[in-house]
Structure formats: C-alpha cells, structure tokens
C-alpha cells in the first residue's frame, strides 16, 4: 500500500528494495501516538533473498585481510559520527527517548562499537599447544558464514551495531532484523554502508515483525549463527527454533536487577546513581535497577531524598533539549506499565511517586505515550511486581536488615542480568559481588561500560557472553590444526 509517508525499505545486496509482500506497517512516533513513516512488512521470501546475497558476499568478504575489513568499519564509524545529529534525532523520534540521551549515549556508542571491533581484529592472538615431541597444534578462528542478528527497540542502533560490528569484522556476512517499532536508524546505517562502499551483501537488513522475519531467520538452515537481544519469552522461542539445527546462539534477555544500598554508602552518589539506574530511557534499559534495597538505618532518609530527586526529572517532548524523561516506546508497552502499577497496588504497594500519565508537555504530544517516574514502597519481595520485568519507569524500594538477607532477596528472582552495590566497605563489596547471581555487578556505579569486558546474563537473562574477546570468539569457529613433529 503506497502512501505519502516515508517508507523504510529493506537493504539487500547493497540496494534498498521493496518487501516481497509490497506491504508496509505504520511506524508510530511514541511522543505523538501518530504514524510518521512506514516500515517494510517483510516475510520469509525477503529473508531468502537476503540469504542469497549474504552467501554470495561471504566468499570475498571472508577472504579479505583483517586490515581491509577494518578500513570499512572505521569508515562507517566516521560517517555515523559525521551524521550524529541526524541519527540522534531519528532515534529520538522513533523510540521516544530524549534527543539529548540519543546524542550522548546511543549514537556515540554505535560509533564506538564499529571502532572497537575494527581495531580489535588487528590485535588478535591465536593459541598454540605443543604435544611433547609428538606434534604441535594451533588454533584457527574462522568466520562462521551468515550471522542472523535480532535486536529490540530500547537501544535500537546501540544494540544492533553491538552485533553487526563484531559479526562482519571477523569476516561473516550478516542479516539483521531491527525491531519493527524502531527501524529508522538501521535504515540510516544502511545508507552509510552504501556510502562507505561496504561490499554488497555483507550487511543485509530485513524489516518486519518477529513472527514474519525474526522466526524465518532463526529457522533458516544457512544462517548458522544467531545473536538475539530481547525478552525472555521470545528468547525461548529463538532457542527452540535454533536447537534442532545446532546453531550457535547467544541470547541477551530480560532482567529484574537489584540495586543494593548499604548504610555506609556515599549517600549522595548512591541516590544520584539509583535515580539514573531507575529511570534512564524511561526505565527501558535492560540493565535498569528496578528493585532498590536499602539498609534500614538509612531507609527513610534515602527514600525522601530519592523521591525528591526523581520528582525533579524533567518530563517532556523528547525533541526538547531540556527533556530528561521522554515517551514510552508504544501503546502496548505503556499499557504493560499501567498494568503493573495497578497490580502493585493490589499487592499492597504504596505509590510514593508518580503512578499515572503526566499532563501532555505540549500540543504536539497530546496523544503521546507518557508515564511519570513511579516509585512504589511497602511491597513484599516475593510479589509479582518485584519478580517480573516491567521495563518502564517503575521502581520499588524495600528495606533490609542484613547482608545475608539482601543477597537472598537479590538472587530470589528468575533473572540474573546485572546488579549494583553501594558501599564504602571494600571487603563487603567483594563479598557481596561474589555471591550475587548476575552477569555484571557494578560497585558504586551503574552502566559504566568497557567494550572489552564480557557482557551477558545468568539464569533467565540469557546464554553466552558478548563483548570484546567473547564476541570475537562467538562469531568465529575455532579449528585445531595438529601437525606431527
Ligand atoms: P522482544 O523479545 O519482543 O523482541 C526482540 C526482537 O525479537 C524484536 O526484533 C522482535 O521483533 C523479535 N522477535 C519477536 N518474535 C520473534 C520470534 N519468534 N523469532 C525471532 N525474533 C522475534 O523484546 P522487545 O523488543 O520488547 O525488547 C524488550 C526486551 O529486551 C526486554 O525484555 C529487555 O530486558 C530485553 N533487552 C535485553 C538486553 C540485554 O542485553 N540482555 C538489552 C536490551 C533489551 P518485533 O519487534 O516485531 O516483535
């Protein structure tokens, strides 16, 4: 169906093409609640075309030297940086996040992802194992072929580039599927790849829904590597589709992250950090600390100061430079947030802050998907609100008595993505960090990211690690060559 709205088309074999179905889905701007563009509603046939292009491109791309591949990735990074404002604005309109956040976090991080892996491949080492007088072995790490890369809507370019950069840096070709809710920066990235002269078929982007595009990617026998970031329920479906085909799979899934504040913490820093980790990107970061635990002697003081600081967050039009809290990504997500706030009250929680939609910041945003930063107290640690991922600007605060007790609370959920611990006692920091079941533990900080460190979750928060050396290993196949002496 043709309309006057801008149409986000697929990028296959180096060209922008119509989806096989000829159909497009409306792409809604969360701040206004109105469609502002359209996105290709692709299907398995489009995935098939992308596979053919990626398979053909793999022959040459995998044979290029690391230095040659590096040059392309560096050029892509440079061009995204040149267009930083355009990307930041597009990300803000598409996802509802404040433009200042997109400019300071999402887009610079996408640039960093390309730069990091462009240079990482120039500094790799390989192992050799000497078998006494009999033989020596060395390990070849070769690209695996076509990688399927599926990402969510909360950090669209940030997370997609986190997968694309390592996958193609080591010589794979890729088929990426962004969330259909936030396709715009993936489209801009494809334009940049064209300009950078990335050979046709090295990166293909197929837009559309999870069932129509994501599922065919996970089921395609020629796409042998799957890197998925998204919710745990979808992650299970991805795992089920990949298992019988013995695909190599990395799953980065949901979280219900504890944020633990001990009485000896630097309170100012703990409050600043906790407000940020509760509400950054409207609480729609998988690493957000949605369960805050505070040691009893400072509980009241902490809650008062936390509420005071959170109530000062400036909600507004995401395109307004002053805005700190933008819109929720979709009506569905907004309804989910409302559902959990209602549930929290039924479970005996007290709304200490927020709890409803704010007044529209301006005429343009009259029908946008906004929700106030919300703080809930008085809940039991075992209630649903404290166990299930909400993925919105909702945080619970719960007092605790002892280290042992709070470690149990922290671990008593199905998720295990990340955690924060605030204390000035170094021994306690080490002790607690060692016993918390999460893939990342931040001590006296939150969201400090070094691209070299392993990133991923435990339990229902995922399988495998990405980042640095882990990503280079994930996207390659180790082969042992044994040579007799
Ligand atoms: P979803 O799991 O709904 O979707 C993630 C991606 O998978 C989307 O592109 C989606 O397409 C696609 N998809 C849906 N169904 C299938 C399927 N059957 N097969 C293959 N792909 C499919 O997650 P959200 O987009 O709602 O993102 C929010 C979730 O992501 C939260 O749970 C959050 O915690 C998690 N997340 C985890 C991170 C981590 O690093 N651990 C980082 C960021 C987010 P479509 O958009 O069409 O549904």
Q: If you average pLDDT over residues 46-65, what whole number do you get?
A: 98
Evaluate: CB of 417 within 6 angstroms of ligand 1: yes
**Interval 418-438: pLDDT, tens:** 999 999 999 999 999 999 999
Pocket of ligand 1, candidates 210, 334, 467: which has the most ligand atoms within 8 Å of its Cβ, to mutate?
210
Q: What is the pLDDT of residues 387-421, one digit of tens each?
A: 999 999 999 999 999 999 999 999 999 999 999 99
The four Cα atoms 162, 167, 173, 178 give a dihedral, to 10 degrees, of -20
Beta bridge partners of 317: none
The residue whose C-alpha atom lies closest to atom 14 belonging to ligand 1 is: 210
Q: What is the pLDDT of residue 105?
A: 98
Residue nearest to atom 43 of ligand 1 (CA): 286
* Ligand 1 nearest atom to the CA of residue 235, by list position: 2
Whether the predicted pLDDT of 14 surpasses 80: yes
Interval 154-171: pLDDT, tens: 999 999 999 999 999 999
pLDDT of residue 4: 79
- pLDDT band, very low/low/confident/very high, at 3 (cuts 50, 70, 90): low
| 377 Cβ closer than 6 Å to some ligand 1 atom | no
Atom number, ligand 1, closest to the C-alpha of residue 233? 2
Q: Is 336 in the pocket of ligand 1 (CB under 6 A)?
A: no
Q: pLDDT tens-digit profile of 110-130?
A: 999 999 999 999 999 999 999
Q: Please tell me the pTM assigned to this model.
A: 0.97
Ligand 1 centroid, distance to 400 Cα (angstroms): 33
Give residue 450's Cα distance to chain centre.
15
Which amino acid residue places its CA nearest to atom 10 of ligand 1?
210
Q: Is 415 in the pocket of ligand 1 (CB under 6 A)?
A: no
Ligand 1 pocket: which of 105, 149, 152 to mutate (most atoms within 8 A of CB): 152
The pLDDT-based confidence of 305 (bands split at 50, 70, 90) is: very high
How many residues in the chain? 485
Regarding the beta carbon of 163 and ligand 1, being less than 6 Å apart is answered no
Kindly state if the Cβ of 182 falls inside 6 Å of ligand 1: no
pLDDT at residue 2 tops 70 = no
Q: Return the pLDDT at 6.
A: 97
| Centre of ligand 1 from the C-alpha of residue 254, in Å | 9
Q: How far is the CA of 245 from the centre of ligand 1 (A)?
A: 21
Which of 162, 230, 331, 440 most suits a substitution to test ligand 1, by most atoms within 8 Å of the C-beta? Answer: 230
Q: What is the pLDDT of residue 119?
A: 98
307 lines ligand 1 (CB under 6 A): no
Ligand 1 in contact with 253 (CB < 6 A)?
yes
Residues annotated catalytic, as ranges: 252, 286
Is the predicted pLDDT of residue 243 greater than 90, yes or no? yes
Instruction: Please state, in angstroms and rounded to a whole number, the distance separating the CA atoms of residues 93 and 54.
Output: 31
At residue 133, does pLDDT exceed 70? yes
Per-residue pLDDT, averaged over 449-462, amounts to 97
Instruction: Pick from 234, 251, 280, 328 the residue to mutate for probing ligand 1's pocket: most ligand atoms within 8 Å of its CB.
Output: 234
Question: How far is 262 from 274, CA to CA, in rounded Å?
Answer: 13
What pLDDT is stored for residue 354 in this prediction? 98
CA distance 65 to 56: 18
Q: Does ligand 1 lie within 6 Å of residue 411's CB atom?
A: no
User: Mean pLDDT, to the nearest integer, of 63-82?
Assistant: 98
């Amino acid at each position: 169906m043709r309309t006057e709205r801008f149409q986000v088309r697929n990028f296959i074999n180096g060209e922008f093409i119509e989806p096989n179905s000829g159909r497009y889905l409306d792409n809604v701007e969360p701040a206004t609640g109105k469609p502002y563009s359209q996105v290709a509603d692709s299907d398995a046939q489009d995935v098939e075309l992308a596979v053919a292009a990626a398979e053909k491109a793999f022959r040459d791309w995998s044979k290029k030297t690391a230095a040659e591949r590096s040059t392309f990735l560096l050029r892509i990074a440079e061009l995204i940086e040149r267009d930083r404002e355009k990307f930041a604005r597009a990300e803000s309109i598409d996802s509802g996040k404040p433009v200042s956040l997109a400019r300071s976090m999402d887009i610079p991080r996408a640039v960093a992802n390309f730069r990091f892996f462009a240079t990482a491949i120039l500094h790799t080492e390989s192992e050799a194992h000497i078998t006494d007088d009999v033989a020596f072995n060395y390990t070849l790490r070769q690209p695996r072929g076509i990688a399927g890369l599926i990402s969510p809507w909360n950090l669209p370019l940030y997370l997609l580039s986190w997968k694309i950069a390592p996958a193609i840096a080591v010589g794979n070709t890729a088929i990426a599927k962004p969330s259909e809710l936030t396709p715009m920066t993936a489209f801009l990235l494809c334009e940049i790849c064209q300009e950078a002269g990335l050979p046709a078929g090295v990166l293909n982007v197929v837009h559309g829904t999870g069932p129509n595009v994501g599922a065919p990617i996970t089921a395609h026998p020629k796409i042998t590597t799957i890197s998925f970031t998204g919710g745990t329920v979808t992650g299970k479906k991805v795992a089920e589709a990949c298992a019988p085909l013995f695909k190599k799979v990395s799953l980065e899934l949901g979280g219900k992250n504890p944020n633990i504040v001990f009485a000896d913490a630097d309170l100012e820093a703990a409050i600043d950090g906790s407000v940020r980790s509760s509400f950054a990107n409207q609480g729609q970061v998988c690493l957000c600390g949605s369960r805050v635990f505070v040691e009893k002697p400072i509980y009241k003081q902490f809650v008062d100061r936390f509420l005071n600081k959170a109530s000062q967050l400036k909600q507004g039009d995401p395109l307004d430079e002053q805005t700190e809290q933008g819109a929720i990504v979709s009506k569905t997500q907004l309804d989910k947030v409302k559902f959990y706030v209602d549930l929290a009250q039924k479970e005996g929680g007290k709304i200490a802050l927020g709890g409803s939609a704010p007044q529209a910041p301006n005429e343009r945003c009259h029908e946008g998907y906004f929700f106030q930063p919300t703080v809930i107290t008085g809940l039991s640690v075992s209630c649903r609100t404290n166990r299930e991922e909400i993925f919105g600007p909702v945080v619970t605060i719960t007092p605790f008595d002892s280290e042992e007790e709070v470690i149990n609370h922290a671990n008593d959920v199905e998720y295990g993505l990340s955690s924060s611990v605030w204390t000035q006692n170094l021994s306690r920091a080490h002790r607690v960090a060692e016993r918390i079941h999460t893939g990342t533990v931040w001590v006296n900080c939150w969201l400090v990211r070094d691209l070299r460190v392993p990133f991923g979750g435990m339990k229902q928060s995922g399988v495998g690690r990405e980042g640095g050396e882990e990503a280079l290993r994930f996207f390659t196949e180790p082969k042992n060559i044994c040579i007799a002496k």
